[in-house]
Structure 1
């Protein structure tokens, strides 16, 4: 009989314990409760994480135009990775979509280094933060900074320790702009590989690529490859056209012109992402080898009507600026007569072809950085073409630090530097975090 009672007891427990475990798992944590109580927060969902005890995605209601509430609102996606309410918080001012931050293995560098909470904000008009209908008038840098201000102000109700803003590339630009417009929202700013362009075709990138990146021998090898694919245009263009057709790409200009722009883009793309020069095929390689490498470095969707970055193109034309191309070494072989104003001609939606670049943002940031000395660390790669328009010109600043990694690319991070430089950067940030 004792055995029978024991069996019955275990049978009951086998049913009840899983139910209790499910209820316990479903019970909201303190963080969930506090997040759900914040104004404007909706659609809160837990995410898996290999790096953080708790991780959530949610949406927060944002005004399309903070100066004109009647313009309406949209929902902006935010990803929150939690370490502790008593820890500092890293704010990632992403410049694009937030998809990659939802991955369980994602862990931002500063959050890992300083055991900090992570607030990752998707940029308006990207990913799941696209207003409907899409009115491009409200896609401005200033409006995006009010988005960050609202999110930071809201989440400081949960996290009252120090805040570090950071971002990469366009996200790094956003970090810099955010510090300019709302200098007291965060304590520290760390923009990675962030350009500050002064015009639609800034003019500093072309001579940088021609004269400063890597070595003269390596630069010549890159140029020789570009010349070779242009010389073989009659044979490679049909391959290029089929490649684009198979991918479903369509363009606003003839395919022969797209080919030219893709060749011009090659050097920027190769140096930006740090492709080893020894990966470039020799100029006597067969057509297939040259073409395969060409497509690996320069995917033509960049110029296509299917480009994943239409919102970026709009911002580049309006406020962010961009780079141009030097066609002089290649002019003999090009179909195009000029590359000027290519962004409008090739990459902008037709209805926005008349957009004019406004230098107000550039001037405002330059003035702010010259007249102030916030706690900021800029990180750049020495061979990254974007460094040509980077904030490397500031002098005699106590707090603003600029680190340029020799030979570094657009993938340069704090962990890319030698141990001594990494230690110097981390020591400085620690000091700022511990400052009363």
Structure 2
């Protein structure tokens, strides 16, 4: 009987795969992790029921094109359930807290979860910092090496997920390594075209009821008209929080930037119900300030805030692009331009990489497969939503949550859309997603990509679901 070379190769490959799978089944996950070159793995206590809990640090090249030039340790947190279960790859866009927090996608799939801290943030910072290697392609290569190292242990399907910058990171990873995972769920992930993308201004001028927009604009003006009182209140609050502000413009610049960002964040994190809470001209200084504390990102302008989030702003300035804030109605009262990002970075990159986002946009629109995008209707970041065709063949779909904000995710979809999303997940993973009413109540914490500055500021707690 004649056997072709291709048949022999197929049999050999199947045999090797069987051997690898059998080894994974018989090997302990900790032993496997510790056997990986460059991997440090420590098992932690108090995991969620049915899981094991690990802190990982993986040696990564600073420059994947020239790996011999230096390395850094990239922090990860693994919640291990079973080698047969699906795995959720959480591509955090910022830091990763060492916690047992499980994302909604992990819970509805009964999945393992591997949460990855983004390069240049928190514990995953090269020393010294070389900003030229903080690019979407280098970060994608980080995730590719991680998947290549850890995925062989697992037989289940892999789905990547992320919210906001984490969702962007997941899509960038898929752009360069489309076959690393079996599907991607990206929540509220924007695609800005250049520095000061004007689409955001158009959106901010149209979102919601005109009466609410006008009340919010009048409120911003009240803050700036009471500049000296607001600066005094910021100073007192900073002492309570042990904050330091060293920006060149001092508290004047802190106030201007916070007030301008407040309009954007009011819709980003809030709802139309909050329109009734906007203080009017008769409000006391203290009432005006309390509302600013709730909705304005004061902590971003602190010394700790600028240092913590400088990698994000560097990426925005060099490749991501960023929104143009709505400030025309404040022009006569501002002393500093809140659309000037120079205050956030120690090094201003030139030139801007125009190709990066257009390349990703083209891939998502025309070549992506097994991608689910979810956006909130009133979230200003939706102004820059990815274009993605709804395709059964490609298993791609973009969902819009009515009146949803930056917290839009699979659990906030209406029943019809949730059914559609569950069908997509089952097609990708072979697992029937758990219905929302059967989810456990032990999902403590918050999505770090949606509320990154909670590490600095205790605000926004009442808006977290």
Correspondence for 2:42: 44
Q: Distance in 1 between matches of 2:299 and 2:351?
A: 24
Inter-CA distance 416–245: structure 2 relative to 1 (3 Å threshold): same
Q: Distance in 1 between matches of 2:76 and 2:349?
A: 33
Question: What is the CA-CA distance between 1:406 and the residue it aligns to?
Answer: 1.5
Q: Distance in 1 between matches of 2:249 and 2:302?
A: 9
Correspondence for 1:322: 322
Question: What is the CA-CA distance between 1:199 and the residue it aligns to?
Answer: 0.6
- Give 1:287's match in structure 2, choosing from 285, 288, 309: 285
Correspondence for 1:272: 268
Greater shift, 156-165 or 142-151, is seen at: 156-165
Q: Distance in 2 between matches of 1:65 and 1:51?
A: 39
Q: Distance in 1 between matches of 2:136 and 2:181?
A: 18
Q: So what's the TM-score if we normalise by structure 2?
A: 0.81
Is 1:415–2:411 an aligned residue pair?
Answer: yes
Inter-CA distance 47–318: structure 2 relative to 1 (3 Å threshold): farther
- Give 2:127's match in structure 1, choosing from 128, 132, 145: 132
Q: Distance in 2 between matches of 1:347 and 1:63?
A: 26
Alignment of 1:345-424 (within 5 A): 346-349=343-346, 352-391=347-386, 393-395=387-389, 397-398=391-392, 399-424=395-420
SS at match of 1:175: helix
- Give 1:434's match in structure 2, choosing from 430, 434, 439: 430
Correspondence for 1:13: none
SS at match of 1:309: helix
- What's the C-alpha RMSD, in Å, of the aligned pairs? 2.0
Correspondence for 1:221: 215
- Give 2:258's match in structure 1, choosing from 262, 265, 271: 262
Runs of 4+ displaced beyond 6 Å: none
SS at match of 1:378: strand
- Give 1:75's match in structure 2, choosing from 67, 73, 76: 73
Alignment of 1:137-156 (within 5 A): 137-156=132-151
Is 1:195–2:195 an aligned residue pair?
Answer: no
- Give 2:304's match in structure 1, choosing from 294, 297, 306: 306
* 8 Å CA contact 2:75, 2:116 repeated in 1: yes
Question: What is the CA-CA distance between 1:52 and the residue it aligns to?
Answer: 4.2
Question: What is the CA-CA distance between 1:170 and the residue it aligns to?
Answer: 0.6
Structure 1 unaligned spans of 5+: 1-28
Inter-CA distance 420–396: structure 2 relative to 1 (3 Å threshold): closer
Q: Distance in 1 between matches of 2:209 and 2:29?
A: 53
1:93-150 deviation line (CA, Å, top 9, x unaligned) = 1101111xx323x111111111111111111111211112222222111111111000
SS at match of 2:331: helix
Question: What is the CA-CA distance between 1:210 and the residue it aligns to?
Answer: 1.2
* 8 Å CA contact 1:252, 1:304 repeated in 2: no
Inter-CA distance 232–63: structure 2 relative to 1 (3 Å threshold): same
Q: Distance in 1 between matches of 2:269 and 2:390?
A: 31
Greater shift, 357-366 or 377-386, is seen at: 357-366
* 8 Å CA contact 1:250, 1:306 repeated in 2: no
Inter-CA distance 147–327: structure 2 relative to 1 (3 Å threshold): same
Q: Distance in 2 between matches of 1:174 and 1:354?
A: 20
Structure 2 unaligned spans of 5+: 1-26, 432-465
Correspondence for 1:34: 32
SS at match of 1:306: helix
Correspondence for 1:210: 205
Q: Distance in 1 between matches of 2:246 and 2:138?
A: 32
Alignment of 1:51-90 (within 5 A): 51-90=49-88
Q: Distance in 1 between matches of 2:103 and 2:292?
A: 32
SS at match of 2:286: helix
Correspondence for 1:231: 225
Question: What is the CA-CA distance between 1:198 and the residue it aligns to?
Answer: 1.0
Q: Distance in 2 between matches of 1:237 and 1:248?
A: 14
Larger radius of gyration: 1
1:268-307 deviation line (CA, Å, top 9, x unaligned) = 1111111522232233111111112112211323133331
